[in-house]
Amino acid sequence: MNVDEPQTWPASLAEAVDLQLSLRRLVKLGGRIADPVRTVLGLDVTYDDSSSRIAAAAVVLKADDFTILEEYVVTGTVSFPYVPGLFAFRELPPLIEAMRKVSTIPDVVICDGHGVAHVRRFGLACHVGLVTGLPTIGVAKNNFVGVFSDPGPERGSRTPIRHDGEVVGYAVRTRAEVKPVFVSAGHLIEPTTAVMTVLDLSPRYRIPEPVRHADQLSRRALRS
């Protein structure tokens, strides 16, 4: 895959915030993604804070049967502190390296974290969308900004996440009776399409298959 090198890399937290405020103007919500979706790229990162080690995984799946087409993992060293709202700067360097190994141009990219459901409307999934030019979706295990009511217990149930008077994402029940995931658009996709896509990619477990595989791969890589 072609992945743009982030032109400017922040040297301070304040610069990182400024960069987000600048880049967020380039985010496009909406548009049509491939229908049907044929290939999906899942991304995840695992850390070991004690050793400052980090592993980023990129896994390409066939969307109809979840067959693994490609999988790569890159290990490195943490280069940015964990600051809520800025963790794209922590995860992006190894993720870009991993994505560059991918041959397939996926129809959509699923990121482990938020998209526009973010303090500055520019979460990891938005940033990944800009550097790849591909449709991206953020899927987080915990809510970050805004408020929501608990969706119904059945799989497929969803409720809006409201922040500053707008809907920034959805709490989505991907598995009956299990805590919802928090879905928001990253780039080049419509919020409701993002929700549908995540449900399609989560037939059995809470976490969508692409991210689940990337999580396992990065975890294995760091434990060896």
Partner DNA sequence: GCGACAG
Partner DNA sequence: ATCTTGTCGC
Nearer to DNA, 38 or 79 (CB): 79
Quick check: 44 binds DNA (CB under 7 A)?
yes
Nearer to DNA, 71 or 215 (CB): 215
d(Cα 164, Cα 3) in Å, to the nearest integer? Answer: 32
Task: Name residues contacting DNA, limited to 98-137 (CB under 7 A).
Answer: 112-114, 118, 123-125
Size of the site for DNA (CB under 7 A): 27
Quick check: 84 binds DNA (CB under 7 A)?
yes
Nearer to DNA, 90 or 158 (CB): 90
State the nearest-atom distance from the C-beta of 113 to DNA, in Å.
3
State the nearest-atom distance from the C-beta of 40 to DNA, in Å.
18
d(Cα 71, Cα 48) in Å, to the nearest integer? Answer: 21
Q: Which residue has the tokens 């060293």?
A: 77
Distances in whole angstroms, Cα of residue 186 to Cα of each of 109, 117, 146: 9, 9, 17
Quick check: 222 binds DNA (CB under 7 A)?
yes
Task: Name residues contacting DNA, limited to 132-191 (CB under 7 A).
Answer: 138, 140-144
State the nearest-atom distance from the C-beta of 61 to DNA, in Å.
19
d(Cα 58, Cα 45) in Å, to the nearest integer? Answer: 9
Distances in whole angstroms, Cα of residue 192 to Cα of each of 123, 188, 196, 199: 18, 12, 6, 11
Nearer to DNA, 103 or 142 (CB): 142
Decide: 118 and 183 in contact? Cβ < 8 Å: no
Helix ranges restricted to H, 47-202 = 88-100, 124-132, 191-200
Which positions lie near DNA, rule CB under 7 A? 44-49, 82, 84-88, 112-114, 118, 123-125, 138, 140-144, 219, 222
